[in-house]
Copies of this chain bind each other. A is one copy, B any other.
């Protein structure tokens, strides 16, 4: 894969002087068109061999274009903040918004590649990491990001020569450290990992672009022209805005039975019983958050449900049990301008909690497969791919010991009618009911289908859905509290057991639907 890039490519000084000003001018123009259009984000990954001109290229791009609209991110070892979050969090956080150019100096590939070179992970685990990278990059491209992955290459003799040159010049000598010579000595090990890595993570939509790094003028013109061609193609001949619809239709409903209708929504619970249980489960939750072991994990509680199903009330029963420093609540409404300029999961990734915290989502990323699907705010290929993207997201969280507990609060159509009417007739509740609620109610069957598909496609061993029978608010609130407490307790017990065992195969739990 490095055949072309190992050749002694070079561009003469005079040729370079002739071509460089035109290229700069065109790049600057393209950058401004990108900015004005605001249609897509451009993300440039800078990867490859040490000494192959990576940092020089980053500097050059900033010189050639307007650096105010370029965001450069260098990724070294993770900060405290970062290492308490899932591995991909810091890359998500740094994604460029539409209209801008982001440069990642190092990126999601660096850690797995170096871990593999240095033998910290085996080849099977490396395969897993590559498969995760493939899914992430496909998601970015599906979301419209122009992803350019540059791999700067030097042959082994070229790298040696380059390090020697840098050392000789007093201006650059500081840049060569013992680490660099160490990397040189392990050149072959590095190549043996990178070659299959590049092969497996090169796809039609996000191919690796291998750049011969030895000669500066050739390298600069190649990167510049590649970037220019990519920007121009995207600006001048935008691809069909939307993905083609290649999803087969999901199975239609054949009988009237579904996971929602199968629930017995009216569950008895007296006020006295409620008061007693509320005290018990609140106490247990509170004690859990004072247990030092809670620092080993984070919890995300997701609340979804029909309008007026009692999400707010249930959430308040959880937060009342806790010290305000242990939890944070995110109410999901329409995305902000900043959020609209990013892939749709970005606004949820940005909230990824640190260890020891409980993060509560009042509505969540599931909007994509619920309201956006039903109201036609996104097309079938987009909400269909969301199922796997969401599962990937939750798996990323789980791998980092962020437990996701998901509640669907279900009420009957009749109960909803009564609650809507009650809201309308009670002055202080009137703000809670709008014309939109009545409109949504008319699409009851469509929402029901969307909820059933969501449960079937995203209730996983990693992050199961809990369906909460919510016609009786007391019952619903207790079920939420109890499920949350029991899930956290089980996770902590799991950690304790794991600490006692060498290797513990994680068996996916059952969906908690049957616990009720």
Contacts from A to B (Cβ < 8 Å): 1-5, 7-11, 122-125, 127-128, 130-131, 134, 141, 146-148, 191-192, 195-196, 199-200, 202-205, 207, 209-211, 218, 221-222, 225-226, 229-230, 233-234, 237, 239-240, 243-252, 254-255, 257-259, 262, 381, 384-385, 387-388, 391, 452, 455-457, 459-462, 465, 505, 507-508, 510-511, 513
A262 to B211, CA, bound (A): 17
Given A209-B248, A225-B252, A229-B248: 11 more A-B contacts, CB < 8 Å: A3-B459, A4-B258, A4-B456, A122-B124, A124-B124, A124-B128, A204-B387, A211-B251, A229-B252, A237-B245, A240-B240
List the B residue with the shortest CB-CB distance to A221: B254
The answer, among B1, B148, B221, B462, for a CB contact under 8 Å with A248, is B148
> In the complex, which of the residues A131, A251, A391 has the most CB atoms of chain B within 10 Å of its own CB atom?
A251
Evaluate contact between A226 and B251: CB separation under 8 angstroms: yes
A262 to B207, CA, bound (A): 24
Chain B residues lying within 8 Å of A128, measured Cβ to Cβ, are 124, 127-128, 131
Given A252-B225, A259-B3, decide whether A204 and B9 contact each other with a Cβ distance below 8 A.
Answer: no
Given A202-B388, A210-B456, decide whether A123 and B258 contact each other with a Cβ distance below 8 A.
Answer: no
The answer, among B3, B229, B233, for a CB contact under 8 Å with A455, is B3
List the B residue with the shortest CB-CB distance to A215: B255
Evaluate contact between A205 and B247: CB separation under 8 angstroms: yes
Name the distance in Å between A14's Cβ and chain B's nearest Cβ.
13
Evaluate contact between B465 and A207: CB separation under 8 angstroms: no
List the B residue with the shortest CB-CB distance to A387: B202
Name the distance in Å between A497's Cβ and chain B's nearest Cβ.
17
List the B residue with the shortest CB-CB distance to A248: B230
Chain B residues lying within 8 Å of A230, measured Cβ to Cβ, are 248-249
Evaluate contact between B254 and A225: CB separation under 8 angstroms: yes
Given A255-B218, A455-B3, decide whether A131 and B127 contact each other with a Cβ distance below 8 A.
Answer: yes
Evaluate contact between B1 and A192: CB separation under 8 angstroms: no
Evaluate contact between B385 and A459: CB separation under 8 angstroms: no
The answer, among B1, B191, B384, B456, for a CB contact under 8 Å with A5, is B456
Chain B residues lying within 8 Å of A513, measured Cβ to Cβ, are 3
Evaluate contact between B203 and A388: CB separation under 8 angstroms: yes
Evaluate contact between A207 and B3: CB separation under 8 angstroms: no
Chain B residues lying within 8 Å of A258, measured Cβ to Cβ, are 4, 7
Chain B residues lying within 8 Å of A130, measured Cβ to Cβ, are 131
A284 to B503, CA, bound (A): 50
List the B residue with the shortest CB-CB distance to A202: B388
Evaluate contact between A222 and B146: CB separation under 8 angstroms: no
Chain B residues lying within 8 Å of A226, measured Cβ to Cβ, are 248-252
Evaluate contact between A9 and B254: CB separation under 8 angstroms: yes
Chain B residues lying within 8 Å of A456, measured Cβ to Cβ, are 1-5, 210
A140 to B505, CA, bound (A): 33
